Amino acid sequence: MLSDAWLIAASALLDDKGKPRSEAILFLDALRQYRKPFAVLTNQSVFSRDALCARYNDAGFHLKPSSFYTSIMAAIDYAHSQKPDAKTAGYIGSHAMRDLLRSAGYAVDMNKADWVFAGTDRNAQYNDYCYALRLIMGGAQLIAADLAPADHIDDTVLIGTGAVVRMLEEASGMKAINAGFPSEIFVSRALKYLGTDAEDTVFIGTDPAGEIAAASKAGVRTAWITGLNEDADVFESEVRPTYLFESFTGLLR
């Protein structure tokens, strides 16, 4: 195989209808067979790793919750690496985000905080955004799980984390740190989670401007699966991946 360790974008495992890609299942099975460490990376901050694992296993994969590394995990790991003693936080996000913050030793404080973590919260209200703004104006650093302006669920378009983050940036005059794609922070923290070095790892993705660019910035070799993203043009992209494959089948050879 091309590498001793692998980082794989979750977007490469399922098609646009949420169905598993059979060759992706075979590829992950091969990684387990040859005892190659891997992690599946996703910007989805609304789901816990248990929920993600259940979803993918229902689709035919054979994963463990520890197989997933999420952008909110990257945000928490990055915040700890920058200010290990700064352990108060506010957040806009799901119960999964709250539980991760608490397990990492962060105390949620509604009056003053070191960090404000922003992820997907489909039940957030105006007061929640104002609460986050007050914390930022009081000195908290805003850190985002992703900057996608919209979420697409089936045929429905929902407001994404990125739109909320930009609103808070405009209101506060402060710039957020992005810990999800297309930031190299996500890939760099995932390497530490996996316990591997950049030179020993290959990243698999389908989005050149987001996923592949983030991995390249982090110094990781990249494999662009071109056949999984009809909107991406290999020849027009400014990103130059290390490897090009039409599908996971090429990685199995």
Would you give the DSSP letter of residue 21?
P
In CATH, what number is assigned to the domain containing residue 229? 3.40.50.1000
pLDDT of residue 177: 98
Q: Which residues make Cβ contacts (< 8 Å) with residue 59, sequence separation at least 6? A: 14, 18, 19, 20
Which of 162, 178, 194 lies at the terminal end of a domain, its last residue?
178
Q: Is 163 part of any domain? A: yes
Pair type for strands 38-42 and 88-92: unpaired
Which of 178, 201, 223 delimits the end of a domain? Answer: 178
In a domain, 216, yes or no: yes
> Does residue 49 sit within a domain?
no
Q: Is residue 141 part of a domain?
A: yes
Asked if 239 contacts 213 with a C-beta cutoff of 8 angstroms, the reply is yes
For the chain, what is the domain count? 2
State the pTM of this model: 0.93
Does some domain include residue 228? yes
Tokens of 177: 């740190």
127 and 93 both lie in a single domain: yes
Phi, psi at 82, each rounded to 5°? -85, -40
- pLDDT at residue number 35: 94
Same domain, 158 and 185: no
Is residue 169 located within the same domain as residue 200? no
pLDDT score for 174:
97
Dihedral of the CA atoms 232, 152, 248, 42 (nearest 10)?
110
Domain end position, chosen among 178, 202, 230? 178
Domain that holds residue 125: 85-178
Whether residues 173 and 188 share a domain: the answer is no
**The residue type at 64:** K
Laid out side by side, the sheet with 243-245 consists of: 68-70, 38-42, 5-9, 201-205, 221-225, 243-245
**Same domain, residue pair 89 and 105:** yes
Q: Is 107 among the domain residues?
A: yes
pLDDT, residue 152, reads 80
Query: In whole angstroms, what is the distance from residue 249 CA to residue 63 CA?
Result: 19
In tens digits, what is the pLDDT along the chain, a chain of 253 residues? 678 899 999 989 988 777 888 999 999 999 999 999 999 999 988 899 999 999 999 989 999 999 999 999 999 999 999 999 999 999 999 999 999 999 999 999 889 999 999 999 989 999 999 999 999 999 999 999 999 999 887 778 999 999 999 999 999 999 999 999 999 999 999 999 999 999 999 999 988 888 999 999 999 999 998 866 655 555 455 778 999 888 898 887 6
At 86 the pLDDT is 97
Residue 50 lies in a domain: no
Inter-residue contact 143 to 179 (CB < 8 Å): yes
Is the residue at 27 inside a domain? yes
